[in-house]
Amino acid sequence: MKHTQNLVSICIVFFVFAFAKAQQQPTSSIKTAARYSNGSIELRFFPDRKRTLDIGLQSGFIIERANSKASNYVEIGRTKAFSIQQWQEVLDKAVTEEEKIQLEIAQDFTAASGDKNGGNLDLTEGIGAIRAQKGDEDFQFMVSVLTAIKNTNAAQGMGLSFIDNTVQRGVSYSYRVKLVGNVPVYTIDPVPVDIIAAAQENLYKNEVFTKTGDTELSFVWEDIPELSGVDVERTINGKSIQLNDAPIYALRGKGYKGPKRTAFNEDSLINYQKYTYRFYGRTIFGERLLFAEVVGMPRDLTPPQQAFLKQPQHTKPNEVLVEWEMKAPIAADFKGFAVSRSDKNDGYFSLLHDKLLPKGATKFIDKSFLKGKTNYYLVQAVDTANNISSSFPVAVTLIDSIPPIKPIVLSGKIDSLGIVTIAIKKNPESDLMGYRLYRSNAEEHEFSAIREGFLSLDSLKNPVQTIFKDTVTLKSLTPYIYYKAEALDFNHNTSAKSAILKVKRPDKIAPTTPVFKHRKSTKDGIELTFSQSRSIDVKEQILYRKTDMKEPWVQLINLEKDQTTYIDNAVGKGKTYYYSMRAIDDSNNTSKYAFPVQGKAYDTGMRAPIENLRVKRNENEITLTWNYPTKNENTFFIIYKKNKKGQLVQHDRSLELSFRESGNKNATYAIKVFTTDGRQSKISEEIVVK
């Protein structure tokens, strides 16, 4: 009883599954490839499912053609699989054993297409048996398709090839392929292919990129849909050999979205020996074509052993001694040494000499080291192939007789009470003691020390003072006051004085107001001519715009220095715009708004014509459709139709992007755009309904 219940449950599951599938019938497509050659168009087509291909092999295929600009396809031919006698005829003509095997595979698959797979469902085997059977069918299907791609006779024998000899050169065509028979399980989707009856140049050209290795070469190329199944041949001293046993296919998992590239590598080569490689690909029409030829030469890329760098020594005030050693044995291709220096152990190291040091060298004296900074040294070993190995970077401890670098005074500002705030950028020295601040009323006068901010030896953990305060009078004939600073370390080494900082006393006077000189309106924009403020302390001048004099001004653009014209192209036709200007000085005083001017870009009245006029005929009804991206509630369309005298006259009116009427005679139509304000477009091109 328990086994019966299990069987009933399984049957219910299969019934629900079958019902769900019936609600949404799967699709199967027949994809077509086409090429033009010698006045004909050759087609290859392949169903994407084995069941669809089986029906095609049994019943045959229908080839339909249409002009690519038309919508109606017309049958131009049919294909069907070879008979036994036809298969035998092409087998007898096979030249190579490989060609004969390919034809036999195609014949066997064609013969087996009428067999019905499956049988009684064995519940003891379960889903695994179903998957195994599906896997076998998919493998057979894949082998048959690849055989049809590789062998033209196999494709013809399976009815998967067709040649159209009725084409006209330069004309565009569209092809699609259908089944003669029906597949009850799938909805068949014939995928069309468009082609121009003209020769296609460089269709199969594909560049191969080479990467040089040590006793090896690597190659990579972009996958192109016109070629697959790549073979690689190597030639040396006139002798060629194919390097791959089977064609190379780009296999990627479902959902892969990375670069579509394929690579090939060959190792165990001889360094500095030139090799020629030829890359062949197979087209979907069974041809094996050479698509690239490259020359490669592997090189020695193995670096020599590392040098051991000893602790550099500051032996003299202006000299640092750098020493190293190499362990024996030293490679025969060793060439020499290079010594470099940086202020960081992971920074950029600069070479300290012009020529490579000899391979017997063990020391170098640096007379250009960075005083007052950390100096890291690096020794690199170089071989005859210019391969490089580097030692670990090691720093030198310098004798402290070097003053701090010249400080940088960042900013200075005077408030309304005459209090000056000076900011100094902190120096990088670890033994920095502090700063001394100087002041003068003129750049050419002598500067006097006014402030000092030094650390004591027992307060090294406290921050160095970088903000200084000073007090000056605001009532002065000199508009500026001048500052500079010097830095000291704990050995009382004193830096050079900083660059002079010029601080402006507070300014209450607004700059002069800019003036408009001329305004010109065009159909594309509004051109303004003006004079900027004459005040010498102006830091920026701003152009403003608005469309309503009651509204506040909106900033349009910051003008360049000495700019006297500006063209505003971001305007709507027929709309009035108002403009003004204002200047701002370096104390943020603002001028009055310039006396406003106004302008308006004029409208030419012409509207754009419609786009992409199309016609569709269904029994006794004609439907016109078109595109018009700028359509709105003020837009309508007048339909013109030719009368018996061959004249285009107004026929009807439409507010939509389509027009429909009954009729079964030849007619010629055209469309014109109108707007409710009387504007109109040029009339469209004519379209003929036959």
Q: Dump pLDDT digits (tens) for 440-456.
A: 999 999 999 999 999 88
| pLDDT for residue 506 | 82
Higher-scoring residue by pLDDT: 301, 509: 301
Q: Is the pLDDT of residue 12 over 50?
A: no
- Lowest pLDDT segment from 122-131, 344-353, 615-624: 122-131
| pLDDT for residue 145 | 75
Percent of the chain whose pLDDT exceeds 70: 90
Mean confidence (pLDDT) of the chain: 86
Pairwise CA distance, residues 353 & 357, whole Å? 8
Please write the tens of the pLDDT for every residue from 268-323.
Answer: 999 999 999 999 988 888 788 898 999 999 999 989 999 999 999 999 889 999 99
Please write the tens of the pLDDT for every residue from 671-682.
Answer: 999 998 788 889
Pairwise CA distance, residues 449 & 472, whole Å? 15
Average pLDDT over residues 134-149: 68
Specify whether domain 606-689 bears CATH 2.60.40.10.
Answer: yes
Q: List the end-to-end C-alpha distance of the chain, in Å, as a whole number.
A: 72
Give me the helix-helix angle, 97-112 and 84-92, nearest 10°: 170
Q: Which of 405, 398, 429 is CA-nearest to residue 320? A: 398
Q: Is the pLDDT of residue 248 over 80?
A: yes
Cβ neighbours of 41 (radius 10 Å): 21
Q: Which DSSP string do the residues of 129-171 spell out, in sequence order?
A: HHHHHHHHHHHHHHHHHHHHHH-HHHHHHTT-EEEE----TT-
Pairwise CA distance, residues 94 & 88, whole Å? 10
**Maximum mean pLDDT: which of 500-509, 575-584, 600-609:** 575-584
| pLDDT for residue 17 | 37
Please write the tens of the pLDDT for every residue from 566-598.
Answer: 999 988 877 899 999 999 987 788 999 999 999
CATH fold of the domain at 408-499: Immunoglobulin-like (2.60.40)
| pLDDT for residue 639 | 92
Q: Which of 627, 632, 626, 628 is CA-nearest to residue 669? A: 626
Residue range(s) in the chain whose domain bears CATH number 2.60.40.10 = 208-251+258-296, 308-396, 408-499, 515-600, 606-689
CA 668 to chain centre: 46
| pLDDT for residue 689 | 86
- Lowest pLDDT segment from 123-127, 531-535, 541-545, 560-564: 123-127
Q: Which DSSP string do the residues of 299-310 spell out, in sequence order?
A: ------PPPEEP
| pLDDT for residue 678 | 81
H or E, element range at 607? strand 606-607
Cβ burial, residue 589 (10 Å; 0-12/13-18/19+): middle
Q: How confident is the model at residue 655 (pLDDT cuts 50, 70, 90)?
A: very high
| pLDDT for residue 594 | 93
| pLDDT for residue 466 | 95
| pLDDT for residue 119 | 45
Characterize 416-445 residue by residue with b for buried, 16 or more Cβ atoms within 10 angstroms of its Cβ, and e for exposed: eebebebebeebebeebbbbbbbbbeeeee
Residue owning tokens 């009055």? 592
Average pLDDT over residues 374-399: 91
Q: Which CATH architecture has domain 515-600?
A: Sandwich (2.60)
Q: How confident is the model at residue 470 (pLDDT cuts 50, 70, 90)?
A: very high
Give me the helix-helix angle, 50-59 and 127-150, nearest 10°: 60
| pLDDT for residue 218 | 95
Q: How confident is the model at residue 135 (pLDDT cuts 50, 70, 90)?
A: low
| pLDDT for residue 161 | 92
Give me the helix-helix angle, 127-150 and 97-112, nearest 10°: 130
Q: Are 512 and 428 in contact, with CB atoms under 8 Å apart?
A: no
Please write the tens of the pLDDT for every residue from 189-205.
Answer: 999 999 998 988 777 88
> CB within 8 A of 120, min separation 6: which ones?
none
Q: How confident is the model at residue 459 (pLDDT cuts 50, 70, 90)?
A: low
Selected from 2.60.40.10, 3.30.1370.60, 3.40.47.40, 2.40.128.20, the CATH number assigned to the domain covering 308-396 reads 2.60.40.10
Specify whether domain 208-251+258-296 bears CATH 2.60.40.10.
Answer: yes
Average pLDDT over residues 618-631: 89
What pTM did the predictor assign? Answer: 0.46
Average pLDDT over residues 142-166: 83
